[in-house]
Structures are given as C-alpha cells and as structure tokens.
C-alpha cells in the first residue's frame, strides 16, 4: 500500500538538534557566534589598557555595577559568565562528540595521503583544544588570580602587567591568540553556512568579514602582551 513519509517521531526542537550531526553543528554555530560577540566586547574593554591603569581599573569596576539598580551588584557579570560557560561547554562537548564521530566514520585511512582543505580548516580541532586550555589558564590567571604573580583583587591593570611580564606567559597568550584567529577565520564562515545564511552571492562578504574579524581580534589581543613586553604598558 502507498505509505506517506514516516511521521512517527516528534521530538522536541532541542532534542532534534542535539540528536543529529546537523543540529549539533547548529548548536556549535550559535554558541560560537555568542562567544565571538563576547570577544569583540572583551577586546574593546581590554584596549583601555592603553589609556592607563585608572581607566582600565575603572572599567573593571564598572563591569560589576552594570544594570544597577535593576540588577544586583555583579549580577550582570555572573549572567555573562553563566552564558559563556554554557557556550563553551556546548561548543566543546558538541565538538568532541562530532570529532569522535568523524574519526569513526573513516576507520581505514588512505595510503596515499594528500593535504586537504585550508590550514584554518584543518586546525579547527587542535586549535579548539589549545583555546580550551587557554581559557582555563586565562581564568585562573586573571579572573580567580590563582596563578597570578601579583593577585591583587580590584587591580586588573597591575595583575595583567605582572602576568605578561613573564615572557613564556606572553608567548603562550600570543600562540593562543593566533589559534583564535585561525579558529575564527574558518569558524565564522562555517557558522554562517551551518545557520544557513551563506550563499553564492554572499560568500565573498562572509569570507571577508571572517578574515577581518580574525585579523582584528588577533591583532587586538596580541597587542596587549606585546605592549607589556615592550614596556609600553607597565
């Protein structure tokens, strides 16, 4: 007998998304875009370092009072932190699960290997791992101050300078920011495709935006340790 397309399954929207490779990529794209927006704000805030300790520390203080009196002290900050943690976890877990799948999907590799795809595309996974490690260290260093040599709460300017005065810390930071640039370069464009906003006509624009974002964010963040190492900020 003629049958209609199967209609027996009606899972939730989230269930549909998380249950499929395409949906998981959507979750990665959305969380990635949120983190990207955060990074833009974060960079703008950080660049205040070039205007002296007073302005930078005041900015740090302001972050704790955003939304008052509607929001309680530091609530905005905590909301942002929760959103970011959710994004990082979603992005990371989805990436891990998808990567496991991808590797399992080709149990036997080719004998004749060829360089495939662009450098940015091929480094998404390891770049992501570097970024994850970086985030952990970054929080321990400049948020909780656990590993910060100065660890003076309420004085982010001094803490930051103290941290970057160690060349190896600055170097790790710079490497992580280069990885970030590559990650954004493929990630932004890729997220656009995953969210279905890409098209032949828009491709050049999207690729250009991805390149500009990658470049600006990398250059912006890298300028901090460089400035500290060169003594322009101290």
Contact call for residue 2 and another protein (CB under 8 A): yes
Which part of the chain contacts another protein (CB under 8 A), choosing from 45-53, 74-82, 128-136, 190-198?
190-198
Q: Does 61 bind another protein (CB under 8 A)?
A: no
Number of residues in contact with another protein under rule CB under 8 A? 53
Give min distance, CB of 163 to another protein, in A. Answer: 34
- Label residue 187 exposed, middle or buried (CB < 10 Å: 0-12, 13-18, 19+): buried
Q: Which is nearer to another protein, 65 or 121 (CB)?
A: 121
Residue 81's CB: how many other CB atoms inside 10 A? 13
Q: Looking at 81-89, 98-106, 129-137, 155-163, which segment touches another protein (CB under 8 A)?
A: 98-106
- R_g (Cα) of the chain, nearest Å: 21
Residues 64 to 93 in contact with another protein, rule: CB under 8 A: none
Site for another protein contains 41 (CB under 8 A): no
Phi, psi (deg, nearest 5) at residue 22: -65, -45
Q: Which helix (H) or strand (E) holds 85?
A: helix 75-104
- Eight-state DSSP code of residue 71: S
Kindly tell me the sign of the dihedral angle through the C-alpha atoms of 55, 60, 63, 65.
negative
Task: Indicate the Cα dihedral angle 179, 181, 185, 190, nearest 10°.
Answer: 60
Burial state string for 215-227 with b = 16 or more CB within 10 A and e = fewer than 16: eebbebbbbbbbb
Residue 204 touching another protein (CB under 8 A) = no
Tell me the closest approach of the beta carbon of residue 168 to another protein, in angstroms. Answer: 32
CB closer to another protein out of 47 and 195: 195
Q: Using CB under 8 A, which of the segments 60-68, 157-165, 182-190, 212-220 binds another protein?
A: 182-190
Using DSSP's 3-state secondary structure scheme, residue 24 falls into helix
Nearer Cβ to another protein (6/153) = 6
Distance in angstroms (rounded) separating the CA atoms of residues 88 and 133 = 12
Does position 24 bind another protein by CB under 8 A?
yes
CB nearer to another protein: give 120 or 222: 120
Of 173, 167, 83, 164, the closest CA to residue 137 belongs to 173
Report the residue from 55, 68, 102, 152 that binds another protein according to the rule CB under 8 A. Answer: 102
Q: Does the protein bind another protein through residue 123 (CB under 8 A)? A: no
The residues of the shown chain that bind another protein, judged by CB under 8 A, are 1-7, 10, 12-13, 16-17, 19-26, 98, 101-114, 116-117, 121-122, 124, 186, 189-190, 192-200, 203
């Amino acid at each position: 007998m003629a049958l209609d397309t199967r209609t027996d399954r009606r899972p939730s929207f989230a269930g549909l998304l998380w249950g499929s490779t395409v949906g998981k990529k959507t979750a990665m794209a959305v969380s990635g875009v949120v983190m990207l927006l955060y990074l833009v704000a974060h960079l703008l805030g950080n660049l205040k370092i070039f205007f002296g300790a007073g302005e930078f520390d005041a900015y740090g203080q302001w972050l704790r009072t955003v939304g008052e009196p509607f929001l309680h002290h530091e609530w905005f900050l905590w909301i942002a932190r929760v959103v970011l943690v959710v994004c990082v976890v979603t992005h990371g877990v989805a990436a891990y699960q998808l990567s496991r799948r991808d590797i399992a999907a080709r149990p036997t590799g080719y004998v004749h290997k060829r360089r495939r795809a662009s450098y940015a595309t091929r480094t998404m996974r390891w770049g992501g791992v570097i970024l994850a490690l970086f985030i952990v260290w970054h929080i321990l260093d400049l948020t909780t101050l656990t590993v910060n040599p100065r660890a003076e709460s309420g004085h982010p300017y001094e803490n930051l300078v103290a941290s970057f005065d160690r060349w190896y810390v600055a170097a790790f930071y710079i490497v992580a920011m280069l990885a970030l640039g590559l990650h954004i370069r493929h990630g932004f464009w890729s997220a656009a495709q995953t969210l279905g906003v890409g098209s032949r006509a828009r491709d050049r624009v999207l690729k250009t935006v991805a390149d500009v974002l990658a470049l600006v964010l990398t250059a912006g963040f890298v300028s901090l340790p460089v400035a500290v190492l060169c003594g322009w900020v101290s």
